[in-house]
Chain A
Amino acid sequence: MSKLVTGDGRTHIESSLMRESLVDRRVIAKTSSEEEFAIMPDVVMVGIGGQSIFDRGKGAVRPLVEELSALRATKKHKMVLSVGGGTRVRHTMSVALDLGLPLGGVAQLVGAMEECNAVFLNALLAKHGSIVMQREHFWELPLYLESGMLPIVISTPPYHFWEPPPAEGCLPTHGSDFGLFIHAEVLGARRIIFVKDEDGLYDKDPKKHTDAKQIKHTTLAALMKNMPEELILDHALFTTWQRARHIKHVQIVNGLVPGQLTKALAGEPVGTVIVKE
């Protein structure tokens, strides 16, 4: 039993952090340990591009939906899906920045565009057991997965008006790739697969440069040393990954090539594989 401690005008509950300053590095160090409990280590997060897949319409989305429903039928993977907001997010931000809305206000607005795509995806996958998972239902994830459903999460993190100011520029830095990553990390998942419209990561944007070279396999450490200027995933994902404990494997596959996602889920090194060693 914890006991109450008084005597300095305050009432404390006895614990290893009692009376301590939680800003003190020595106190913070006491809360660290080698291991960290993995809440749902078998979950595989699959992030589907908004601009790269969804904004291409039926021709790109339908084959992917078929692949997802076939994957779900195999019951081999505990998949959790998400989808980005795409071009409407860019439009929202352009209007919001032009209007001079505060950074937190911009961050508050963008998630709604992603939710629209989540509803679209859910409509297409509903008969295969999909469900849009509201944030407040965070702990229903095991229920959905155990009953064989295909949850679709909102990946934009709920930072909203409280989006921290960026080091430079005027854009919120905690986007949907970062959000999906952090969601996977808190669950103790080991890997994430991003479905985009390119065969993975390139040294520069392959849409703008014909001589862009594909990076098939790399490590987080190597990537941090030599980060491409035009990035396919949020920069904040990589900086956060450096201090993460669970995610070991981030893969980027081409959703316009049928079967790539299935291969990636089976552990094949299609697209780009980034590992943390």
Chain B
Amino acid sequence: MNSPHERRKLPSRLADSALTTATDSASKSFDYTPDAMMPDVKVFKVGGQSIMDRGREAVFPILDELVAAKDDHKLLLCCGGGTRARHVYAVASDLELPTGLLAALGGYVPRQNARMLQMLLAKHGGIYIMNDDFEKLPLYFRLGCIPIMTGMPPFGYWEKPSEGGRIPENRTDAGVFLTAEALGVKRAIFIKDEAGLFEDDPKKNKAAKHIPRITASELEKSDLPDMIVERVVVTYLQRARFCTELQIINGLERGMITRALKGEDVGTIITAK
């Protein structure tokens, strides 16, 4: 409709774009090749159920390895949730509350875990950081610190409803992947209590065969009821511009973190292609 009050535009290549679709024609005019912000950061996920809930027996040797490496690497630690997050999700599901609420509540536990690691690492430069401190990472690394944050992405109440249930689809695996992707890091390392992917559940079948390498599309095609990482991560990996590899290592086995930091393909590597 014609209006006497015309839209006032700042001239730009997207000035006439609705920006409502990914296929927006004006956006195609950009030769978009983003620069990696901090590609040399080593992004780690410290598992909640797999590591933190095991207590000192599992956590202390892992921290020893990380501290030993801290002067040679920029380490960013992101925490998972674990059994308390499962309890929160179970209570919230019983109360029939929406996914966004579960995502917001699920954020509390990884923050607790991050604070625990901060207390343990304080004397080695461990600092607890919030999502809003992300832009201060260069400072923390320059000071020789080990920044520790939640693995949960900051979606909270704005998390999409999930399909087939209430548990948020973007949890700490997704958050750690997205952290690495934002920093322009090629490989995110997940410290768990198994050496990655097996043909059967290694907790139930000791003879289960280890799978050292698999592509995201192979994982997707296998269409198993269970998966080694959050399903959205398998989707995101294939769309990534930077973070095209996930490495899952067994943190209970001494030396694995050190070998992963050297770039060795220990554990299981999930690749975008």
Contact = CB atoms under 8 A, between A and B. Distances in A.
Interface of A: 2, 8-13, 15-26, 28-33, 35-37, 39, 51-52, 55-60, 87-91, 93-95, 97-98, 100-105, 138, 157-171, 173, 175, 177, 179, 182-183, 185-186, 188, 197-199, 205-206, 229-235, 240, 243-246, 254, 256
Contact of B35 (A11, A28, A102): A102
Question: Which of A2, A18, A102 neighbours the largest number of chain B CB atoms within 10 Å of its CB?
Answer: A102
Nearest to B157: A186
B226 A186 contact: no
A246 B17 CA distance: 30
B153 A102 contact: no
Question: Lowest 5 CB-CB distances: which A-B pairs, in order?
Answer: A186-B100, A59-B5, A28-B165, A94-B12, A104-B182
A37 B3 contact: no
Contact of A87 (B7, B54, B239): B7
Contacts of A161: 131, 134, 178-179, 182
Interface string B1-27: 101111111101111011111111001
A175 B8 contact: no
Given A28-B165, A162-B182, A175 B55 contact: no
Interface in B143-197: 153-167, 170-171, 174-175, 178-179, 181-182, 184, 193
B164 A28 contact: yes
B98 A55 contact: no
B91 interface: yes
B86 A37 contact: no
Contact of A57 (B5, B30, B101, B181): B5
Interface residues of B, number: 95
Nearest to A246: B98
A58 B4 CA distance: 11
B72 interface: no
A157 to B, nearest CB: 4
A101 B35 contact: yes
A235 B22 contact: yes
A33 B96 contact: yes
B102 to A, nearest CB: 8
State the majority secondary structure of interface residues on B. Answer: loop
B134 A235 contact: no
B158 A199 contact: no
B55 A186 contact: no
B230 interface: yes
Contacts of A30: 93, 165
B158 A17 contact: no
Contact of B160 (A24, A58, A240): A240
B263 interface: no
Contacts of B153: 159, 162
Nearest to B11: A91
A45 B27 CA distance: 29
28 contacts: A13-B87, A18-B90, A19-B49, A23-B229, A23-B230, A24-B225, A28-B162, A30-B93, A32-B166, A35-B96, A56-B5, A87-B9, A90-B19, A98-B13, A102-B182, A103-B34, A103-B182, A104-B178, A162-B154, A165-B181, A165-B239, A169-B23, A170-B27, A182-B160, A230-B18, A230-B21, A240-B160, A256-B1
B167 A28 contact: yes
Question: Which of A22, A161, A198, A205 neighbours the largest number of chain B CB atoms within 10 Å of its CB?
Answer: A22
Contact of B7 (A56, A205, A230): A56
Contacts of A87: 7-10, 12, 15
B89 interface: yes
Interface in B59-84: 83-84
